[in-house]
Amino acid sequence: MLLNMLHLQALVYATIFFIITHILFRSVFLTSNQKQKLPPGPKGWPVIGCLPLVGSMPHVSLAQMAEKYGPIMFLKMGTCGMVVVSKPNSARAFLKTLDENFSNRPLTANAKYITYGGQDSVTAMESGTRWKLLKKLSNLHMLGATSFKDWSPTRAMEVRQMVQEMHKMGQQGQPIAVMEMVFCAMANMITQKSLNRRVFGKQGSEGNSMKDMIIELMRLAGLFNIGDFIPSIAWLDIQGTEGQMKRHHKKFDALLTKMLEEHEQTAHLRTRNPDFIDVVMANRECDDGSKHTFTNIKALLLNLFIAGTDTSAITIVWALSELLNNRRILDRLHAEMDQVIGKKRLVEESDIAKLPYLQAVCKETFRMHPPLPLNLPRVSQEACEVEGYHIPKNTRLLVNVWAIGRDPDVWDDPLQFKPVRFLIEEENNNNKGARIIEPWGNEFELIPFGSGRRMCAGIRMGIALVECILDTLVHAFEWHLPGGTQLNMDEKFGLVLQRADPLVAGVVPRLQPCAYDLTN
């Protein structure tokens, strides 16, 4: 009883404080900006601003608001200002023209547990010397064109292992949990390159547990946490989000600590063939004399896990889901693969360049189902002007990648899955609307990996894994749904956009038996 009274008293005091803070904020904010034109946007409520408007599917809600207020919206979110961009040209203005001004990220409570307080190289660390060094090492020894090619045998081996396991399950009549299988294969690729070991021997409870942990972290990190926008009440953790993040982070931290400690104990065995973490450990000192800590390394490894598993795996799951709902597209993809590859072997990464329709399917999936529907937030270091609008200092920036991909002003039939929109040469010249658009961050109609200096460092890995693994799954097996049902395509919002229902399907081999033999 006493505890409840104290809690109620704290809420009353906090409410009074919010009102005073809100009045002062509006007084100062409006006075300083009344002569400067802010982007249009909804008014919102006192204290909480527009927070209630985002709802449970923020990417959809923000896209609907943009239809009313325009491609650049300003929303007051608690005590923070936020700009939301929903058109390619506006995205180019922020992510290219003003890239440097928006090169830092706000450290939200949720991101704090994914990035160890902003200690990783890609998502949250400020763009200083440590960030530049980790990005350089990542490109030189893991994610760059040359280094990525060097570990292609590792990726090929893990793909073959996954196919063999699926083949066995198919013969036994067992359904395939696609996300789990793909996730485990990708996790093994990442850890073989970074830690010189496989995390999972095969599909099972350990892999499923890790997959669920990352998916839940991504779901929680995508929530609009009230404490991030009204810092004075963050300690209340009203939604319980931070407490959940803290518990999941503790489990993941224990796993990463164990991996790195075991890795350090065997360092003497890899002096002639160091893995990626060995290289990072040997180059810990930055130009300014600071050094990467053990926490920095754990944060980097966690980032590699997330970027190299969850985002790519869910893109493959969405692509396969669309193909199962569009058999005509699937049949055409089979025909292309059989002509180029045949039925005596599995797909190799070198085959991808000869498969334009597959590449179009992947681009169409990136368009309709970008792994991050809202790009990771950025924050303005200084006040600036965009398209005649004043953007104050410390304004948060969100680019609605999902909305851009479904914009009828940009795409014909935006709600239809049509890979041919990315093919220039079609028979009978019946695809006049097709355009050459690549997802590399230079064409803002399609930016699933972001753009500018803060775009995803693993973009090359992400595209290659999606193309090769999707190609392998479609080429190696005929897929069928239980009872021949139509897939539910509902979304589940998070930092990464998941399917509302997991994709579970049966497989039947469609290649010659020799293709599934690992000894070949």
Q: With contact defined as beta carbons under 8 Å apart, do 334 and 518 qualify?
A: no
As given in the structure block, the two tokens for residue 316 are 């493959």
How many residues does the structure list for the chain?
520
pLDDT at 113: 79
**What's the DSSP call for residue 49?**
B
Task: For residue 80, list its beta bridge partners.
Answer: 77
Rounded Cα–Cα distance for residues 74 and 77 (Å): 9
Q: What are phi and psi of 11, to 5 degrees?
A: -65, -40
Contacts of 162-167 with C-beta under 8 Å, sequence gap 24+, read 162/469, 163/346, 163/472, 163/476, 163/516, 164/516, 164/518, 165/202, 165/203, 166/473, 166/476, 166/477, 166/507, 167/476, 167/477, 167/507, 167/509, 167/516
Task: Enumerate residue ranges in the chain where pLDDT < 50.
Answer: 1-13, 27, 427-429
Distances (CA, A) of 170 to 163, 373, 502: 10, 33, 18
Distant-in-sequence, close-in-space partners of 462: CB < 8 Å, separation ≥ 6: 307, 308, 311, 312, 315, 371, 449, 456
Instruction: Say what the pLDDT of residue 4 is.
Output: 41
* Residue of 64, 483, 455, 498 lying closest to 310 (CA atoms): 498
Report DSSP state, residue 40: P
Q: Cα(330)–Cα(510) distance, rounded to whole angstroms?
A: 13
The model's pLDDT over 64-79, given as tens digits with 9 standing for 90+, comes to: 999 999 999 999 999 9
Please give the sequence-ordered ranges of beta strands (E in DSSP) within 354-457, or none if there are none.
378-379, 384-386, 389-391, 396-399
Predicted pLDDT of residue 1: 41
C-alpha dist (Å) from residue 484 to 316, 481, 506: 21, 5, 11
pLDDT at res. 491: 95
State the alpha helices, DSSP H only, in 139-266: 145-150, 152-171, 178-195, 205-222, 226-229, 241-265
Q: What are the structural domains, with CATH classification, of the chain?
A: 36-516 (1.10.630.10)
CB 222 within 8 A of CB 496: yes
Token pair recorded at residue 353 = 């360049």
Place of tokens 């810092």: 231
Q: What is the DSSP letter of 293?
A: -
Confidence (pLDDT) at 55? 92
